[in-house]
């Protein structure tokens, strides 16, 4: 396999872009979901693999990141984190490990949470304890 100076490589006559280039191209098409991306046949020079999560596994942070789909608003995202991760994740370290090891199914609502909510949410963020606090404690 050849690698160019830009980080792209050629394999079996088809160009495979660097992750950043592929993500830029995918975002440029305006796909709203994984399903839209998979249905689209991209002719010509910009053809992307149908399995970018495998091709760029080391850089992969999820379909929403790859396609540029925005995350939920803070309150909704925090509610999902509390409901879906309660009893599973109790600390920042456990949260980051869960996402790094890609242990969430893509049909789990928590899959659409940002990897670093503490950096993503500028408004509303008060700390990891608040983010991961079980819903029953939060509503009392």
pLDDT digits (tens, 9 = 90+) for 11-67: 443 457 899 999 998 888 878 788 888 887 655 556 788 899 999 988 888 888 899
Q: Which of 68, 67, 64, 66 minimizes the C-alpha distance to 113?
A: 64
Which tokens in the block code for residue 53? 């999560």
DSSP-derived 3-state class of residue 135: helix
The residue among 67, 83, 102 that closes a domain is 67
The answer on 39 and 93 residing in a single domain is no
Query: In total, how many domains does the chain have?
Result: 2
The average confidence (pLDDT) of the chain is: 81
Query: Which domain, by its residues, includes 131?
Result: 74-138
> pTM for the whole thing?
0.58
CA–CA separation, 11 and 128 (whole Å): 43
* Chain centre to alpha carbon of residue 33: 12
The answer on 61 and 13 residing in a single domain is yes
CA dist 119 to 13, 58, 114, 123, 128, Å? 40, 21, 9, 10, 11
* Chain centre to alpha carbon of residue 89: 18
The answer on 95 and 110 residing in a single domain is yes
């Amino acid at each position: 396999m050849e690698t160019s100076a830009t980080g792209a490589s050629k394999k079996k006559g088809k160009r495979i872009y660097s992750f950043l280039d592929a993500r830029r191209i995918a975002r440029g098409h305006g796909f709203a979901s994984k399903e839209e991306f998979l249905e689209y046949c991209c002719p010509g020079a910009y053809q992307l693999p149908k399995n970018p999560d495998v091709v760029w596994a080391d850089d992969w942070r999820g379909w929403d990141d790859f396609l540029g789909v925005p995350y939920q608003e803070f309150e909704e995202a925090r509610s999902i984190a509390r409901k879906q991760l309660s009893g599973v994740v109790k600390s920042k370290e456990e949260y980051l490990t869960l996402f790094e090891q890609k242990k969430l199914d893509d049909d789990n609502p928590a899959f659409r949470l940002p990897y670093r909510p503490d950096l993503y949410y500028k408004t509303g963020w008060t700390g990891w304890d608040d983010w991961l606090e079980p819903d029953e404690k939060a509503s009392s």
